[in-house]
Amino acid sequence: MTPDSDLIKFRPEEPVKTSPARRHGDSWRVLIVDDDDEVHQVTRLALDRLEVLGRPLELLHATSAAECLEILSREKNIAVLLLDVVMESDGAGLQAVRQIRNVLGLDEIRIILRTGQPGYAPEELVIHDYDINDYKTKAELTHSALTTLMVSSIRSYQQIRSINQHRIGLQKIIKAGASLLEQHSLQEFSEGVITQICSLLGLHAEGILCAQTHHEEDERNEDIYILGAAGSYAPFIRQRLSNLQDRHIGELIETCMKSKQNLYTDNETVLYLGSQSGAAAVYLQTTQTVSEDNRKLLQVFLTNIAIGYENVKLFQKLRNTAYMDPLTKLANRNEFTRLLQQRQNSEESPQVAVLIDIDHFSDINDGLGQEIGNELLISVANRLRMAFGTDAVIARVDADVFGAIGDEFNLSPQSVLAVFESPFNTRDQVLTINATIGLGRLRDLGTQGLIMLKRVYIALNSAKKRTIRHFDYYVPQMEEAKEQRLQMIRQLRVDFALQKLSIWYQPQYDLQTRRIVCLEALLRWPQEDGSYIPPGVFIPIAEYSGLIVSIGAWVLEQACAQLAQFRAGGITGMRIAVNVSMPQFRSPAFIAQVANALQRYQIEEGELELEITESVLMDDPEAMIQGLRKLKSLGVQVSVDDFGTGYSSLNYLRRLPLDKIKVDASFVRDLATEDGAAIAETIVHLGRQLGLLTIAEGVETAEQEAAMRDMGCQEAQGYYFAKPMPLEQLAHLLEKSPT
């Protein structure tokens, strides 16, 4: 076999000693093993200036089989081994071959055996089993024979390597593809692609994946966004490509997308990833030019993942992990949460997070229709964008809750509330809306996005409970208060089950006869130390937790039992008023429960009164009218509690089957003021017009009693007459006051 003339070249003569200094990356490494020094010298002379496929040789030397194995286990990428058969022992060379193939597992290295005497030739089988390229006696290996053999061995080494590498590469692609299929978000997928490509190329992951995204409202307006990034580009995820400092990268990516071709420069690679729904590109920092082999490998990989990319995009659309609220085009809750956490670490001026809750939004939605509701939400979004958009993040965090993050001084409660000062125009409605806002200074909120969001919600809920101002800032005590409330509800549950609750009664008097006409049942929750937790504190918690439904049923039961007992004790014509909460009234079993109790205790018409607060009455007008009619038909009296504190429409009040309105204690307290007196008088007047009885609550003085009586109010209840009291005490009072 004669070597191809273009494959072999001899470099010009140069000092022999320089050859081992060459880097093995661009030379063929050849290991010469022989216990005869002279053989080393001769071989070196023969091979030193040889170039194969444009690369020189790098010669390594060993003088024993042991040394040979030691070098092979340490050094990488040795292409050819020239091995003496007889060294420390007769079979040392062949034993070494066995070790190399079976123990070190080096399959790629080409092996040429040499021996001094023909008698030591290994058997055919051995040559085959150990993949020995050639066997020559030293006499046979002339200068030219040696070069020829070297060239063919190196070529065969290179072929084996490239096949192996392709195989490894393909295995990697399959593995990478499989792991990418598990990634369902575009960001994870993109990062996966970068990492996998870098690992295919044996690089440290450093790069970005971008795609063109269509604006939903404007197809022509296309921006290139960074979908995923690894290494130093990670902070730019989800940003516009134009936000990258390095314009050069942007230009490369744009060129790649336009030309739909991969670009390779000395230390950068831009890969085109086309799919039906749009173009994407992967930019990588590659420390050296990507070899032809690797480029082919990448192409296979890219075709492979283009399908995956398509899937992920679809998936993304379906799951809407997108970071945008489709209605208002603002950031959505996920994105808001992510930004909260991100901004936490920002070095900017003090930042605040705000949640803006539109009051009574569900009324608008139910009353005027979802379309108007949506229009309103879009208008609110636009106003917020106009007011704060340039320096704050605006988001829609919940159906009727907007979010903002920005400079603490710009995003003040006043400036946010100002957005709602003028009414909103929808297609055919002008809507005046109010908002309640919760705020949290980022430095107070912690470091984890979800917890931060939760804390701003705590502030929002606290703001909702306020009556005068409509905002609140988060303070850690709020959470302590919440923990206390939780503790309280646990205890209430236990104490209720243990029947530790009791009912006190407060009499209501006829202002003309000064007789007791009714007793209001008021819950008491005694504590171990003899004190009481006031119902004003625990009732709202019981309502919130739903426990009020069973507690309320119990109160009703007790009241009816008490009425039956009065009758048995000869007290007739006494009425008991029971307070009914919203969750109780809403519970479907409520009316049946009342009917059942009335029947069991043989309660007569007018003996049981239910007190329902004005705000409960306004909750669901039509259902309320139905419910009250049924109650009336059972012979139950109905009074409106805390009248004047809600905002009933007169028209509506007229339609409700009611008996009595209770003038809220706050107006009675303010009787001495001009406004207070006017309001009380209006209510009494209204009652008369609607044909309802009026009763004044919280009467504490003789003056108040007189004032109410003069206005025409028929009944009164208050400390001036009697405080709420336990039954034993009440019995005493009932004896004194004839009914």
| 610: Cβ contacts below 8 Å, ≥ 6 apart | 577, 578, 579, 580, 594, 631, 636, 637, 638, 639
**Binds 79, which of ligand C2E, Ca ion, none (CB < 5 to 8 A, cut-off by type)?**
none
Q: Say how many C-beta atoms besides its own lie within 10 A of residue 650's C-beta.
A: 9
Instruction: Work out how close the CB of 634 gets to Ca ion at its nearest, in angstroms, rounded to a whole number.
Output: 20
Residue selected from 31, 555, 671, 716 as contacting ligand C2E according to rule CB under 6 A: 555
| Contact string (CB under 5 A) for Ca ion, positions 396-435, x = contact | ----------------------------------------
Determine, following the binding rule CB under 6 A, whether residue 569 of this chain makes contact with ligand C2E: no
Name the minimum Å distance from CB 680 to ligand C2E.
15
Q: How many CB atoms are closer than 10 A to CB 733?
A: 15
Position 182, amino acid: E
Which of 63, 579, 581, 648 binds Ca ion (CB under 5 A)? It is: 579
Asked if 611 is part of the footprint of Ca ion (rule: CB under 5 A), the reply reads yes
Q: CB–CB of 304/275 below 8 Å?
A: no
Nearer to ligand C2E by Cβ, of 34 and 609: the residue is: 609
Cβ proximity to Ca ion, 206 vs 664, nearer residue: 664
Q: Which does 536 bind (CB under 5 to 8 A by kind): ligand C2E, Ca ion, none?
A: ligand C2E
Interface with ligand C2E, residue 540, by CB under 6 A:
no
Q: Which of 91, 535, 621, 646 binds ligand C2E (CB under 6 A)?
A: 535
The closest alpha carbon to 436, from 537, 358, 349, 350, belongs to: 358
Amino acid occupying residue 343: R
| Of the residues 332, 581, 587, 637, which one makes contact with ligand C2E according to CB under 6 A | 581
Of 199 and 615, which has the nearer Cβ to ligand C2E? 615
Among ligand C2E, Ca ion, none, what does residue 438 contact (CB within 5–8 Å per kind)? none
Q: For Ca ion, which is the closer residue by CB, 48 or 715?
A: 715
Q: Which does 534 bind (CB under 5 to 8 A by kind): Ca ion, ligand C2E, none?
A: ligand C2E
Q: How many residues bind Ca ion (CB under 5 A)?
A: 5
* 579 counts as binding ligand C2E under rule CB under 6 A: yes
In angstroms, what is the minimal distance from the CB of 703 to Ca ion?
Answer: 20
Question: Scanning residues 489 to 508, which ones bind ligand C2E (CB under 6 A)?
Answer: 506
Binder of residue 535, out of Ca ion, ligand C2E, none (CB less than 5 to 8 A by kind): ligand C2E
Helix (H, G, I), strand (E, B) or coil at 67: helix
For residue 435, the minimal CB distance to Ca ion (Å) is: 29
Short-list 678, 706, 677, 711, CA closest to 694: 711
Residue 262 binds to ligand C2E (criterion: CB under 6 A): no
Contact between 453 and ligand C2E per CB under 6 A: no
**Residue 632 burial (CB count, 10 A):** 15
Q: Quick one: which of 641, 681, 705, 715 contacts Ca ion (CB under 5 A)?
A: 641
φ/ψ region of 707 (left if φ > 0, alpha if ψ in -120 to 50, else beta) reads alpha
C-beta separation of 583 from 548 below 8 A: yes
Any idea what the Cα angle at residue 449 is, between residues 444 and 451, rounded to 5°?
A: 65
Binding part of the chain for Ca ion, among 68-76, 87-95, 105-113, 633-641 by CB under 5 A, reads 633-641
Q: How many CB atoms lie within 10 A of CB 505?
A: 24
Q: 712 — alpha (psi -120 to 50), left (phi > 0) or beta? A: left
Q: What is the dihedral of CA 650, 656, 658, 663, to 10 degrees?
A: -30
Sheet holding 471-473, edge to edge: 393-398, 401-407, 351-358, 435-441, 471-473
- Tokens matching residue 601: 């205790």
Q: Cα-atom radius of gyration of the chain, to the nearest Å?
A: 45
Are 354 and 388 a contacting pair, CB within 8 Å? Answer: no
Q: Is 26 exposed, middle or buried (0-12, 13-18, 19+ CB in 10 A)?
A: exposed
Task: List the single partner that 719 binds among ligand C2E, Ca ion, none, CB under 5 to 8 Å by kind.
Answer: ligand C2E
Interatomic CA distance for residues 159 and 297, integer angstroms: 16
Number of shown-chain residues binding ligand C2E (CB under 6 A) = 25
Nearest residue to the partner Ca ion, using Cβ: 611
State the CB neighbour count (10 A cutoff) for residue 132: 19
Closest CA to 336 of 410, 407, 392: 392
Binding mask 663-692 for ligand C2E (x = CB under 6 A): --x---------------------------
Using the rule CB under 6 A, which residue among 15, 118, 119, 536 binds ligand C2E?
Answer: 536
For residues 83 and 131, what is the distance between their CA atoms, to the nearest angstrom?
13
655: its two tokens: 């339609």
Contact characters 98-117, ligand C2E, x per CB under 6 A: --------------------
- Minimum CB–partner distance for residue 520 and Ca ion (Å): 6
| Strand locations in 240-314 (E) | 263-264, 268-275, 278-285
Least Å distance, CB 696 to ligand C2E, is 10
Among 335, 375, 614, 642, binds Ca ion (CB under 5 A): 642
**Nearest distance in Å: CB 690, Ca ion:** 18
The structure tokens listed for 712 are 């025409």
Stretch that binds ligand C2E, among 17-25, 44-52, 436-444, 573-581 (CB under 6 A): 573-581
Please answer whether residues 53 and 154 qualify as being in contact, where contact means their C-beta atoms are separated by less than 8 angstroms: yes
614 makes contact with Ca ion (CB under 5 A)? no
Which C-beta is closer to Ca ion: that of 108 or that of 641? 641
For residues 598 and 635, the answer to whether their CB atoms sit within 8 Å is yes
Q: Smaller CB distance to Ca ion: residue 213 or 506? A: 506
What is d(CA 391, CA 411) in angstroms, rounded to the nearest whole number? Answer: 10
- Interacting residues with Ca ion between 681 and 710 (CB under 5 A): 697
CB of 484 to ligand C2E, least distance (A): 19
715 binds, among Ca ion, ligand C2E, none (CB under 5 to 8 A by kind): none
Is 557 a binding residue for ligand C2E by CB under 6 A? The answer is no
Write down the residue that tokens 């409605």 correspond to. 429
Instruction: Select the residue interacting with ligand C2E from 431, 485, 700, 727 (CB under 6 A).
Output: 700
- Only one of the segments 422-430, 467-475, 548-556, 652-660 lies at the binding site for ligand C2E (rule: CB under 6 A); that segment is 548-556
Token pair, residue 178, equals: 């499989």
CB of 666 to Ca ion, least distance (A): 10
Question: Quick one: which segment of 46-54, 236-244, 255-263, 717-725 binds ligand C2E (CB under 6 A)?
Answer: 717-725
- Asked if residues 186 and 316 have their Cβ atoms less than 8 Å apart, the reply is yes
Q: Which of residues 608-667 bind ligand C2E (CB under 6 A)?
A: 611, 641-642, 665
Give least dist CB 610 to ligand C2E, A: 10
Q: Which does 308 bind (CB under 5 to 8 A by kind): ligand C2E, Ca ion, none?
A: none
> What's the Cα-to-Cα distance from 647 to each of 421, 617, 644, 666, 693, rounded to whole Å?
21, 10, 7, 15, 19
**403 CB contacts (<8 Å, ≥6 apart)?**
331, 333, 336, 353, 354, 355, 356, 393, 394, 395, 396, 397, 456
Q: Which residues of this protein are in contact with Ca ion, per CB under 5 A? A: 579, 611, 641-642, 697
Rule CB under 6 A: which residues touch ligand C2E? Answer: 506, 521-523, 534-536, 539, 548, 552, 555, 579-581, 611, 641-642, 665, 698-700, 717-719, 724
